[in-house]
Structure formats: C-alpha cells, structure tokens
Amino acid sequence: EVEAVNMEEITGAQIIAEALKAQNVEYMFGIVGVPVIEVAMAVQGVGIKYVGMRNEQAACYAASAVGYLTGRPAVCLVVSGPGLIHALGGMANANMNCWPVVVIGGSSDQNQETMGAFQEFPQVEACRLYSKFSARPSSLEAIPSVIEKAVRSSIYGRPGACYVDVSGDMVTARVDRARVRAAPCCPPPPVSLAHPKAVTEAVAMLKTSKQPLVIVGKGAAYSRAEDEVQELVELCGLPFLPTPMGKGVLPDDHPQCVAAARSRALLQADVVVLLGARLNWILHFGLPPRFNPQVKVIQVDICAEELGNNVKPAVALLGDIRNVVSQLLGCFRKDAWRYQSDTMWWRSLKEKMNANERIENDALAAHSSVPMNYYTVFHHIAELLPHDCIIVSEGANTMDIGRTMLYNRLPRHRLDAGTFGTMGVGLGFAIAAALVESGRKTCQRVVCVEGDSAFGFSGMEVETMCRYKLPVIIIVVNNNGIYSGVDPHTWDELGKMGDLTTIAPPVTLLPEARYDQVMAAFGGQGFFVRTPQELRSALQLCLDDWERPSLLNVLIDPASDRKQQLCLSPYLS
C-alpha cells in the first residue's frame, strides 16, 4: 500500500536517457520519427546534446568520429526499418576503422512482430555483421545493463560498433522506477601490458636491426600514445612512417618522418615496429613486392586475433599501445641505446626524400594557369591553413594528393575515408569534430577537403552545419566528376550527340556545378573559385569567420588527374 503511494513511474525513453547519462555519453546524433522522438527529447532532458542530421548514415559517421576523437562512444539514434538500414553503412565504417559507436534503433511493436508491422525488419540480426554486439533488452528493467554492455563493448578490447534495439512499445511503456536497477558507469578500458619477455625480445631485435622502421597507425592515435611514441622515436633515433590517419601522432614535418620515401622505407626495412596499424591493403599486406620478404615485424596491437594476420610477427606485443610503448621506453631509457644517424639506411632514405617526385610536385604547384591542377590548389591551401586545424578529407585524387601535401602536426587531426575507403563520411566527421572542438578551450578549425563526388554523398548535411552554426570550412576540389570529368562545352556537345545516359562517361558529374550555392542557400558563405588569387582571398575570408560554415567551390582542370585515371584505388599508389 505504502509503496503504491510512493511509486514513481518512468518511461522506456527516460530509462534510456538516464542510462546513457550514467555512461557519460555526451552526444547523440540521429533523425527522429516514430518511435524514437521521445528518446531524443528525454536525452536532451538529462543534458546530453542531441544533433539532428539529414541522413542516418551521416549521423552514424558523426557519432563514430566523436568516439575516435574522445575515446568515449557517442550514440546514433535511428527509427525502425529504413532508418536502421541507412545507419548500417556508418556502423560498418566504424567497425572497420575500430572506432567506438553505439547505435540505438527503434523497432516495430513487439506484439506485431512477424505480422508485417510498419517498418518491421530483423534489426538485431541485421546489425550483427556490422557490430561487436547487437541485442534487444528483454524488459524495461534490463535497459540500463544492456546499454552499459553496449558502451563497454564499444571501447574494451578492439573498439567497434554496438547496437541496442528498442521496440516502439518499450519507448512509451512505464514501469515503477524502483524496479529499474541503474548500471554503474563503465570505466575506461583496464590497463593491458605486453609480456615482459616479449618486450625484452623486441628491444633486443631493434638493437640489432640494420634498417629499422616505425609505422604509426590510427590505433596509436586512438590510444593517445603520442607522447610515448614521440619519446621512443626521438630517444632511439628511429625513422617513422604514418598511415593516413596515423598522421599527426608525430608531426608530418618531423625530421625523422620518412613519408616522402615511403616505398623505399617499406621495401628495405629489416625490422618494422608496427604500432596500431593492420597489415591490410593500406600497408600492402606486409608482403612482397612492397615489403622485404625477410622483414621482422614487432607487432603491437590490443586485439590478439590481429597478431599474425598476413605476416607472422617476430615479436607479438599484445596490449594497449600507450602502455606497451612505455614498457619499451623503460628498457631503452636504461641504457640510452640509439640508432646511429649516419648509417647507410638514413642516407638512403634521405636521398629518396629529396628526389625527383618532390621537385615535380613543386613545379606543378607553382603553376598559375587556369584551370588549376590539384598541386596548385593544395599548395595554396597548405600555405594558409593554421597548423592546428583538423583536416577531414575524402575523394580519390583529392584525398590521395591532399594526404601528401597537407601536413598534420597534432594527433587525431586527420579524418578520412579510412580502412573501408568510404566516401560520404566527410561532412558527418566535420560536424562531429566541430562540436567536440567547440567545447574545448583552444578551439581549432575544422577544414573539410572534398572531391566533388565525395561531397555529393552527404551534401545535405550543409543544412545541419548551418542550423547549428558550425564554422566548418568545406573546400570542394571540383573536377566535374569521379576521378575525372568533362568541361561544360564538351558536355553540351555530348548532349547534342544523343542520349546522355548512353554516351556520357559514367564518371562525369554536372560540369561546374554550383556547390557553393548549396551552402549559400542555407545561410552559409559560398565562394566560386577559379584562380589561385580567388582561392587565397576566399579561404582567408572563411578562416576569419567563426560564425558560420562556408564552402569554397574550387574548379580545377577536369582532366587534371589523367595520368592516374586508371588507378582506381582511392588511396596509395
């Protein structure tokens, strides 16, 4: 009797919100509708930031970038059926990148299951391929512990995507608050260290190596190992090479960075210290012809199953990179061992770094003719960008050439198409980065360098940027197509010749499309740029404006990439 009087009822939506708050979730991205609108309202009520996006895919990209940047997962909230299916692309991308994210999907009512309910779909099963954990709480009371498990699974071990399914009837159902057991906040992953014997072996192997190389991957960035990795590289005098998103863990202009001699470094290294990078396509599988068949790999990874993929490691160091590198440092500090700087290996790498390609690129960059080429565009961008900005990049040549010409000096300041080679991630990533940055004392600029095709995949997210007044700068490097395009005149001629669907090259997009006007339509700044001078003055105006987003539509020669046209890899040549 007494209990009934004091009973306080709580809805499923409120339980979800309080459970997420208890797990220190700070951001939720999503698109509301039946049956999750109450969830979004409830999370705002407990002080979690809700960011409404325009497509669930981009919402999931944004949530996963917050996870990578902060080490704590954000949530992506989606409606049933198609909403959840749109988010699968984002989950797959996060899982492939080893980035934490928690997706919460509304689903059709339990009592209509298998009856052909509105947007009915086997969501828990569908998410399994794209995640580490996928489940539906069996009752309202079970919600907090399932959410805790999803958050924990997303950050413990190898980070990844997790899914929690909530049926529509559960969102609005009520239960006595006293019956809901709160789940305590899951702490950061427990410390994991490599076996001391393996550490000793690794140190001995490095000391006897003739041509050592450190490869820094995005696992090192995620692990926040920048201070330790820098000390290791500098104390021991080792050459290092970043992977695309490993860029910035150590500055790209560090004297020991041998990125400009990448092929030679990979091919001739006899001992490779692999810090949080998989030997997948990005690193040519660690195999000949790109690697020395005798190479000894000292592999550091948090995921035991990863150790030995494609190449059997000479030493396997299982543990968190930051901690394992500290273990290595402990040994090297004792006897102050240092790889000599006057070796054949250093000479050979330095010679390669000063060789032809550099000079060729510089010559291309110096062109002042119109239409511009990629190198000219990136040359001017690189000169104007602040050194601490976060660079988001996607597209084929735009990302490839931009990666070598736009330097990163800080860790976790480069976000790109990643392990999965996903196009369309850029705007979601930029929104996430801008939000995370806006909460920091030294807020840094987010610059999104996009191909025109890449921009199109999630282009409507410019409305999201304008709505939340995020001062993102989008630079669309516009070559009228995918890999390449045609000029307006050729396009008109093609149109006169016949049916465009049968004769237009499949790579083409509308020549000189006004992406800048898309941004202007929502109140951001748009610039249409053809010359180096226009590029410089427009970019400077954008950098001075912290009130709203802007877009530079930079027209380049649609045939600028001809020589690479047959290289379909969006990455490394």
SS3 state of residue 414: strand
Distance CA 93, CA 160 (A): 9
Residue listed under structure tokens 């000029």: 487
The reply on whether position 245 binds ligand ADP by CB under 6 A is: yes
SS3 state of residue 439: coil
The reply on whether position 67 binds ligand ADP by CB under 6 A is: no
Q: How far is the CB of 552 from ligand ADP (least distance, A)?
A: 28
**Distance, first Cα to last Cα, the chain:** 75
Beta bridge partners of 478: 555
Write the DSSP symbol of residue 214: E
Stretch of 74-82, 298-306, 321-329, 444-452 lying at the interface with Mg ion (CB under 5 A): 444-452
The reply on whether position 64 binds ligand ADP by CB under 6 A is: no
Instruction: Name residues whose C-beta falls within 8 Å of residue 547's C-beta, 6 or more positions apart in sequence.
Output: 469, 471
Choose among 96, 36, 78, 86: nearest CA to 57: 86
The reply on whether position 202 binds ligand ADP by CB under 6 A is: no
Binding partner of residue 38 among Mg ion, ligand ADP, none, CB under 5 to 8 Å per kind?
Answer: none
Q: Which residue is nearest to ligand ADP (CB)?
A: 219
Query: Among residues 376 and 419, whose Cβ is nearest to ligand ADP?
Result: 419
Instruction: Name residues whose C-beta falls within 8 Å of residue 12's C-beta, 6 or more positions apart in sequence.
Output: 140, 143, 166, 170, 171, 172, 173, 174
Beta bridge partners of 526: 551
Inter-axis angle of helices 82-97 and 56-70, nearest 10? 30
Binding partner of residue 222 among Mg ion, ligand ADP, none, CB under 5 to 8 Å per kind?
Answer: ligand ADP
Q: Token pair of 206, please?
A: 């490095």
Among 267, 287, 303, 353, binds ligand ADP (CB under 6 A): 303
Q: Token pair of 253, please?
A: 């202009």
Residues 167-196 that bind Mg ion (CB under 5 A): none
Q: What does the per-residue mask of binding to ligand ADP show for 494-533, with x meaning CB under 6 A?
A: ----------------------------------------
Distance CA 490, CA 498 (A): 13
Residues 206-235 that bind ligand ADP (CB under 6 A): 217-219, 222-223
Q: Are 367 and 343 in contact (CB under 8 A)?
A: no
Buried b (16+ CB within 10 A) or exposed e, 5-33: eeeeebbbbbbbbbbbbbbebbbbbbbbe
Query: Among residues 98 and 476, whose Cβ is nearest to ligand ADP?
Result: 98
Distance CA 201, CA 419 (A): 30
The reply on whether position 452 binds Mg ion by CB under 5 A is: yes
Q: How far is the CB of 133 from ligand ADP (least distance, A)?
A: 16
Stretch of 319-327, 335-343, 416-424, 473-481 lying at the interface with Mg ion (CB under 5 A): 473-481
The reply on whether position 101 binds ligand ADP by CB under 6 A is: no
Query: Among residues 30 and 426, whose Cβ is nearest to Mg ion?
Result: 426
The reply on whether position 461 binds Mg ion by CB under 5 A is: no
Write the DSSP symbol of residue 482: S
Write the DSSP symbol of residue 263: H
What is 372-385 written as a DSSP string?
B-HHHHHHHHHHHS
Count the alpha carbons within 13 Å of 45 in the hemisphere toward its beta carbon. 13
Stretch of 176-184, 300-308, 338-346, 429-437 lying at the interface with ligand ADP (CB under 6 A): 300-308
The reply on whether position 393 binds Mg ion by CB under 5 A is: no
Classify residue 188 as left (phi > 0), alpha (psi -120 to 50) or beta: beta
Among 73, 159, 451, 570, binds Mg ion (CB under 5 A): 451
Binding partner of residue 453 among ligand ADP, Mg ion, none, CB under 5 to 8 Å per kind?
Answer: Mg ion
Among 108, 131, 393, 479, binds Mg ion (CB under 5 A): 479
Q: How far is the CB of 22 from ligand ADP (least distance, A)?
A: 24
Binding partner of residue 278 among Mg ion, ligand ADP, none, CB under 5 to 8 Å per kind?
Answer: ligand ADP
Query: Among residues 145 and 326, whose Cβ is nearest to ligand ADP?
Result: 326
Stretch of 475-483, 494-502, 513-521, 551-559 lying at the interface with Mg ion (CB under 5 A): 475-483
Q: How far is the CB of 149 from ligand ADP (least distance, A)?
A: 19
Q: Token pair of 328, please?
A: 């290595």
Q: Are 215 and 265 in contact (CB under 8 A)?
A: no
Among 119, 131, 419, 560, binds ligand ADP (CB under 6 A): 419
Among 49, 149, 158, 262, binds ligand ADP (CB under 6 A): 158
Cα 381 to chain center, whole Å? 21
Binding partner of residue 320 among Mg ion, ligand ADP, none, CB under 5 to 8 Å per kind?
Answer: ligand ADP
The reply on whether position 471 binds ligand ADP by CB under 6 A is: no
Q: Are 65 and 417 in contact (CB under 8 A)?
A: no
The reply on whether position 450 binds Mg ion by CB under 5 A is: no
Chain residues in the site for Mg ion (CB under 5 A): 451-453, 479
Chain residues in the site for ligand ADP (CB under 6 A): 97-98, 158-159, 217-219, 222-223, 243, 245-246, 276-278, 280, 282, 301-303, 306, 320-321, 419
